[in-house]
Each structure stands twice: as structure tokens, then as C-alpha cells.
């Protein structure tokens, strides 16, 4: 064999080896990121990487201070602890705030790696004052509810249906609203594609994403500054193996195209975690009665804090409009 041929083979072999190492590294990185997204006990990321995932959403110290204060107040408020068994046998925990003379029941779904009191500590007292019973579940794979994985709404939509059915049995004479923040917003929007109890009169979704695939693509490309192409394929396969759903197997878009339940969409226009464009996409897709509140200068999950009165008005007007519909 000529020396030039041997050299070419060595170079080709080296290229294959480099490609194999790169592919293996990409797979390992993707698997870690999917574990961070889905696993109850995720691997720890370096500080900068962990912070980059959510963009600048949680840099506001005043916001964080208020969130923690109101979360503790809600946790210490008198309420009943609930436990139901989900469609797949998973034990789910919730918190029930019963209001004398209630006008409606609101099922409130919290976000990814958050908590029931963190996401609703500020708003819950206002909803109670407006005559709401509140059922605030702890999402599967988090806190005290069962499950090894978080489903990014793909599984939780069925949990939301279970909680809606529970609310319908608990207070059959009252209208029901489904409300969610961040992943909780995507959860209630995906639930719109299911056969909900007739008592469900509306859905309130604050800063929800359109699908796990879409939000993962956004975070990896825009916040972590990595390529998504092959990682997207790998992430989809790993996700399906973990939770039996691919990251692109369902979306809020599909649900809203096949639902008649009225929807109120809320989003901050400075959201660096879930881009506001996703709420615009949801609005365009929705074939049911719909309204949209965009809060100026609000980061992720900050809309109620940033514009409390505007937020309350939008929600109260929504309730007033649909409460009167026959239960």
C-alpha cells in the first residue's frame, strides 16, 4: 500500500474517531439536560449553566423576597390537605382552601421545579377574597406528590383532569376554572384537549410554553447557546423512554385547536425563559373564546407582581363573563 493511501486511511480513521467522540459527548450532554428537565432528583449543573437555563427570570431580588414572604403566608393559612390517586395510580397531594359562600372553584397548577405556595402565594388571597374555593395541587414528580418524573404537561394534563373531576364532585353546583403558571399553564392548556367536566367554564394560563420540544429548543439555543438539531432528536428519544411520551407528541396548539373552553392568556413581554411569542401562538391557535393580557416589562412568572391591578381586572372580568353560564 502506498504511503499516501496509508496516510489518507489514518486521517479518515481519525475523523471517524473524532465524530464518534463528538456524538458521544452530545448524547451525554443531552441526557444530562433531559434528566435536569424530567427527573425528580436531577443531576446538579454548574452554577452558570443552571442559571442560564431560565435566563434572567430570577435575578430580581425584590420579586424573590416577596414570593418567599407570600409563600410562607399561604402555607400557614388554614386549609385542608387533599390526596387523590391519579389515572396511572400515582398519589397526588393538593391543598384545599374552602371559602364560605363560594362563587366558583379554581384548580391551580404550579410550574416546573416550583411549588404550590411559591406560584400562588401572591394571587391566592385575592382569589379567595373574590369568592373562590382553591384547589392547589403539588405536581407529580415534585414535592409531596408521587412519581419519579416531571412530564412538562404531557402527563400532568391527565392529572389536571383528575383534579377537575374531583372539584366537580366536591362542589357540583359551582363553575370551575383551571389556572396555571409556567409549566402549570401549559398543563391546563393541554388539558383543554381532554373531555373536561361540564362545570369547567374557563382556563387561565400565565406564561405557558407550547410544547416540551419547543421550550427545550428555545432554552438550548437561546439560553445555553448550543446547537439543537441532533440534541432534539436525542432528547425526544430519551424523553419517550422516561415518560412514554416524546417531547413533541402533544402541544398546547393542538389542544386549543380542538377545544371550546374559553381561555385567558397572560404573559410578560420581557420573559427570557418562556418567550412571549408562545402565548401569541396559543392565542392564534385557540378556536374558543379568548383574551390576552401582555404585561409590560414583566419577566417570567412576574406578571401578577408587576401589574397586580391589571392582572386582577383581567381575571375578574373573565370570571364575571363566564360564571353565569349554566353549570
Number of helices and strands in the chain (H, E) = 13, 8
User: What pTM value is reported for the model?
Assistant: 0.91
C-alpha cell of 128? Answer: 379567595
Q: Return the pLDDT at 9.
A: 42
In DSSP notation, 180-232 reads EETHHHHHHHHHTTS---TTEEEEEEES--S-HHHHHHHIIIIIS----HHHH
Asked whether the beta carbons of 274 and 91 are under 8 A apart, the reply is no
- Reading the block at residue 293, the C-alpha cell is 393580557
- CA torsion through residues 182, 186, 204, 72, sign: negative
What would the grid cell of residue 38 be?
424530567
pLDDT in tens, 165-202: 999 999 999 999 999 999 999 999 999 999 999 999 99
> Per residue of the chain (327 residues), what is the pLDDT tens digit?
555 555 544 444 444 444 444 456 678 989 999 999 999 999 987 766 667 777 665 678 999 999 999 999 999 999 999 999 999 999 999 999 999 999 999 999 999 999 999 999 999 999 999 999 999 999 999 999 999 999 999 999 999 999 999 999 999 999 999 999 999 999 999 999 999 999 999 999 999 999 999 999 999 999 999 999 999 999 999 999 999 999 999 999 999 999 999 999 999 999 999 999 999 999 999 999 999 999 999 999 999 999 999 999 999 999 999 998 755
Q: Which fold has domain 56-211+250-323?
A: Rossmann fold (3.40.50)
What per-residue confidence (pLDDT) applies to 44? 85
CA dihedral sign of residues 272, 276, 282, 285 = negative
**CA gap 99, 130 in Å, rounded:** 9
Cα separation of 69 and 89, whole Å? Answer: 34
Q: How far apart are CA 322 and CA 239, in angstroms?
A: 38
Q: H-helix or E-strand containing 322?
A: helix 308-323
**Half-sphere exposure at residue 324, Cβ-oriented, CA atoms within 13 angstroms:** 5
* Amino acid 144: pLDDT: 98
pLDDT at residue 324 in the model: 83
Amino acid at each position: 500500500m502506498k504511503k499516501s493511501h496509508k496516510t489518507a486511511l489514518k486521517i479518515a480513521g481519525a475523523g471517524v474517531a473524532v465524530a464518534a467522540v463528538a456524538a458521544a459527548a452530545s448524547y451525554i450532554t443531552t441526557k444530562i439536560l433531559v434528566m435536569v428537565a424530567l427527573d425528580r432528583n436531577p443531576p446538579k449543573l454548574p452554577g452558570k449553566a443552571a442559571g442560564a437555563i431560565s435566563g434572567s427570570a430570577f435575578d430580581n431580588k425584590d420579586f424573590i423576597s416577596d414570593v418567599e414572604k407570600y409563600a410562607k403566608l399561604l402555607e400557614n393559612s388554614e386549609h385542608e390537605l387533599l390526596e387523590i390517586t391519579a389515572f396511572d395510580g400515582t398519589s397526588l397531594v393538593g391543598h384545599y382552601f374552602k371559602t364560605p359562600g363560594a362563587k366558583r372553584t379554581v384548580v391551580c397548577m404550579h410550574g416546573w421545579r416550583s411549588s404550590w405556595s411559591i406560584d400562588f402565594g401572591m394571587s391566592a388571597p385575592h382569589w379567595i377574597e373574590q369568592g373562590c374555593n382553591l384547589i392547589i395541587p403539588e405536581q407529580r414528580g415534585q414535592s409531596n406528590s408521587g412519581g419519579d418524573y416531571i412530564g412538562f404537561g404531557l402527563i400532568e394534563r391527565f392529572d389536571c383532569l383528575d383534579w377537575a373531576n374531583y372539584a366537580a364532585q366536591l362542589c357540583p353546583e359551582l363553575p370551575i376554572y383551571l389556572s396555571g403558571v409556567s409549566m402549570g399553564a401549559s398543563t391546563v392548556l393541554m388539558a383543554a384537549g381532554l373531555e373536561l367536566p361540564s362545570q369547567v367554564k374557563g382556563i387561565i394560563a400565565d406564561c405557558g410554553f407550547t410544547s416540551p420540544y419547543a421550550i427545550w429548543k428555545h432554552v438550548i439555543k437561546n439560553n445555553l447557546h448550543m446547537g439543537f438539531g441532533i440534541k432534539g432528536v436525542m432528547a425526544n428519544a430519551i424523553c419517550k423512554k422516561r415518560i412514554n411520551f416524546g417531547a413533541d407528541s402533544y402541544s398546547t396548539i393542538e389542544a386549543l385547536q380542538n377545544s371550546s373552553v374559553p381561555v385567558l392568556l397572560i404573559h410578560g413581554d420581557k420573559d427570557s425563559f418562556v418567550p412571549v411569542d408562545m402565548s401569541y401562538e396559543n392565542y392564534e391557535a385557540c378556536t374558543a373564546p379568548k383574551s390576552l393580557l401582555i404585561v409590560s416589562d414583566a419577566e417570567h412568572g412576574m406578571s401578577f407582581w408587576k401589574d397586580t391591578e391589571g392582572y386582577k381586572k383581567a381575571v375578574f372580568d373573565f370570571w364575571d363573563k363566564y360564571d353565569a353560564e349554566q353549570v
